[in-house]
Amino acid sequence: MGCASSIHISDRVVYHSGKESEDSHSPQQTNTTQHQGNPASGLPLKPLSSKTTLTEVQFGPMKLFKDPLQVLLVFAKEDSQSNGFCWACEKANFRCSMARTPESALECFLEKHHDLVIIDHRHSRHFDAEALCRSMRAVTSSENTVIVAVVKRPDREEASVMPLINAGFNRRYVENANMMACYNELLQLEHGEVRAQFKLRAGNAIFTALEQSQEAIEITSEDQVIQYVNPAYESIMGYQQGELIGKEIIEVPKSEKNKPDLLETINSCIRKGKEWQGIYYAKKKNGDSIQQNVKITPVIGQGGKIRHYVSINRPLNDNNKSDRSSERVQAESQTDIQSSKHKDRRKGSLDVRSTTSRGSDGSSQRRHSSMARIHSMTIEAPITKVINIINAAQESSPMPVAEALDRVLEILRTTELYSPQLGTKDEDPHTNDLVGGLMTDGLRRLSGNEYIFSTKHPHHIPSHLTTPLSLNDIPPRIAQTMENEDSWDFDIFNLEAATMKRPLTYLGLKIFSRFGVCEFLNCPEATLRSWLQVIEANYHSSNSYHNSTHAADVLHATAYFLCKERVKQSLDPIDEVAALIAATVHDVDHPGRTNSFLCNAGSELAILYNDTAVLESHHAALAFQITTRDDKCNIFKNIERNEYRTLRQAIIDMVLATEMTKHFEHVNKFVNSINKPLAALEENGGNGDEESVKSILTSPENRILVKRMLIKCADISNPCRHQELCIEWAGRISEEYFAQTDEEKRQGLPVVMPVFDRNTCSIPKSQISFIDYFITDMFDAWDAFADLPNLMQHLDNNFKYWKGLDDRRLHSLRPPPE
């Protein structure tokens, strides 16, 4: 055969030994002979060197040294094509092996992990080349191997290479036995695909170094899309890698502690290809700001353009960070295992089963999982950390000290110390703008533009309210629509359509009747009907989201939560009535604009309420104004003064709780004051002491927390609704935000939510951010308390739906039709 004297033949595999074998350690252990020529081509063969020559490859600043290529030839039979590649390997000083069968090829590949594999694809009767390629690709080590298919020269038209690519081949070689053609092909492969794969292999070493680095490292693309963060970044910032990869850098929340123009200064510098280094406040996932020494380096790539940015972040004044982190972990571990004699401890594995019989074991296990998540909540406030330290200290303290610390904990849990630090404006374009639009009072701006809506919508009782409907006179079609109003999957939009956009009056009549509100207030049904109608009349039907349908939806969710066993154990009848009334009025006269907008516009309401909880204060105040100024709709007329004061205070407190600036405060206090003490009791004593559980559930402070949490969850429960309802609500709130952005641009006001531009907004991204930032932790806590598996399943389904659209880079509510 053409190169027989330079090939070592065995029964199964043929090894070229032009270099020392893979197992040899001496360059003298070779089996080569010099040839004067090759009968197949007449070309001379190059003598093979007995020394291994390392090839130097530059990989950025890294200098790599590569052994001669390892090549595996897979040809069932010897022919001029296989001989051509044998000769080419000799000439190029590559180490060459030849296999005749797929089995021997796989065995040889697993042993030597070749850089290049050339498979004969011309004769399917010998073996299935594509199946062999798939088998090789199934091996992890083949990731950086280049596999070439030798194909027949086409007789007629050119065939597609897609079947080869799908099988795992990198490229094809149209049969050509000319030895120089084979040699040229190998050289091109060596300096092209093979070298690229070699650099990729070397990249693994670089990533290993990044993974082990104690500094937080972030790599973004030229468009500032996050492509990599290392474990140190995850540890310092509190994010998981999967929460960041693929997000634009502007989608990650920013700290309000930086100077307003700092980000612009940084971007201006690095976009010119210059390195930026300085002090920067980053915002952790839990809302805390952390001061860091940051160095951002642009990486020049193809075309001389910036292709990546590498950010290296080192926390300032944090030399003992790892020690303190270890101490914190140890403290929490001690907290997890402290003895049951201290009944108010934080536990590492928590179960919040009710003291009464409350469902199946599967439900209990799911609730156990919910409380485990509560323990690792990312919204932990500074006061929570203080409580954890005190808990840990109690473990090794004498009884008098432990009891004193119990009293300290009791005091801490009844004070306003649960708010984490939150940004005001510098968040990402989705989480960021939601926070900016919902949780702040905007940028104050001296402007002649004033947004006045109160004079446009006079608050009076419309004339059609003089003959209100009776509960017994509800049309059958509407009554039928409300038959399943006690189900979570009740469709509020069907009721909206059936009532011609007046769902609040009808649903209110039925729900208030079911809860006996008229009996409690000692008011006639006609008064309640008039009140419901005047309240609904003061909702703006022109708003796409904040209209009476939203109020009816929140009322429905409130009624649903009030029927949950744990909630019923906690609240009194006056609390239930307050919750139903608060849900009904919580957004009355909402203008379809956020608090930030009203403050920026210098509206009458913003001035009246000093830019603080503007809308929520207005909703509560207006509700009582229009209720008490006309006896025909004054539902409070016949209750005793002290009871009215109690009821009024509860309603106001719940309406104000829907204001988002204190979102995390309410959630944190609920978790720390109710969920964790309940779970600790139950874990220490099985189902816990019934009296102790009751004292936690019914204390005045905790009843307030339950009511706040209840209306908050009802108010933003859209992501926990059935998917079609969730999608409809998402479309409505997006449209309302789009309209606000349009008006801000028309009036020259600051745009508080820039991503909500109807021409560019990604609705899936906005929903994902809203769920991540506001919904998940809150509903984990509420589910752990009230046991809501159906809501959590809907939440999971809806998140996957939005994520699926976002992964496809779709910006719309729904995917395009097939």
Q: For the chain, percent helix, then strand, then coil, each to nearest 5? A: 50, 10, 40
Q: Classify the C-alpha dihedral 216-295-260-740 as positive or negative.
A: negative
Q: Apex CA 379: angle with CA 376 and CA 381, to 5°?
A: 105
Element holding 56 (H helix, E strand): strand 55-59
Which tokens in the block code for residue 337? 């295992």
547 a known binding residue? yes
Contact of 537 with 462, CB cutoff 8 Å:
yes
Gap between the Cα atoms of 475 and 201, Å rounded:
73
Contact of 291 with 317, CB cutoff 8 Å:
yes
Q: Identify the CA nearest to 308 among candidates 230, 219, 215.
A: 219
Residue among 375, 540, 546, 556 flagged as catalytic: 546
Gap between the Cα atoms of 639 and 522, Å rounded:
7
Gap between the Cα atoms of 607 and 618, Å rounded:
12
586 a known binding residue? yes
What does the radius of gyration of the chain's CA atoms come to, in whole angstroms? 35
Q: What is the 3-state secondary structure (H, E, C) of 261-297?
A: CHHHHHHHHHCCCCCEEEEEEEECCCCCEEEEEEEEE
Q: What are phi and psi of 632, to 5 degrees?
A: -65, -25
767 a known binding residue? yes
Q: Apex CA 531: angle with CA 527 and CA 537, to 5°?
A: 145
16 in active site: no
Write the CB contacts of 782 (distance below 8 Å, at least 6 apart in sequence). Answer: 709, 710, 713, 788
Gap between the Cα atoms of 256 and 424, Å rounded:
6
120 a known binding residue? no
Strand partners, 293: 279, 314
Neighbours of 208 (CB within 10 A): 10
CA dihedral 336, 342, 346, 347 (to 10 degrees): 40
546 a known binding residue? yes
Contact of 123 with 175, CB cutoff 8 Å:
no
Which tokens in the block code for residue 106? 């796989």
590 a known binding residue? no
Gap between the Cα atoms of 790 and 489, Å rounded:
9
142 a known binding residue? no
What is the residue-wise DSSP string for 146-167?
EEEEEEPPPSSSPPPSHHHHHH
Distance of CA 410 to the CA centre of its chain: 34
Distance of CA 491 to the CA centre of its chain: 28
723 a known binding residue? no
Which tokens in the block code for residue 8? 């070592």
Enumerate the known binding-site residues for AMP. Answer: 546-550, 587, 715, 767
Enumerate the known binding-site residues for Zn(2+). Answer: 550, 586-587, 715
Active site residues: 546
